Amino acid sequence: MEQDCIFCKIVVKESPADIVYENDKLVVFKDINPEAPVHLLVVPKKHIRSVNDIEPEDQTLVGEMVAAAKLVAAQKGINESGYNLLFNVERGGGQIIFHLHLHLLGGWKR
């Protein structure tokens, strides 16, 4: 756990979050500044700074993040209407929190 990382604090329940799914390797919670009717963050419990810091041994974990997003999309009823999965990478790519996370966005009426 990184001392000043808000996502690490959420993982260990030191900071509040509206958690919608959790297993032994990751947690999924609502984004506090949603940009879609459904905007969730899929966050590994292991602190990985960004996509640029993924090591070969983390590749399975990244796959599990995508699988969890698929599962939660179905639970939220947006799997058939469609959704976006997004990794922001580094500051220039829009990353604000430097703990790897996958955005799940959907629920638009189009």
Concatenating the DSSP letter of every residue in the chain gives --TT-HHHHHHTTSS---EEEE-SSEEEEE-SS-SSSEEEEEEESS----GGG--GGGHHHHHHHHHHHHHHHHHTT-TTT-EEEE---TGGGT--SSS--EEEEE----
Catalytic residue status for 99: no
Residue among 39, 47, 99, 101 flagged as catalytic = 101
Residues annotated as catalytic are: 101
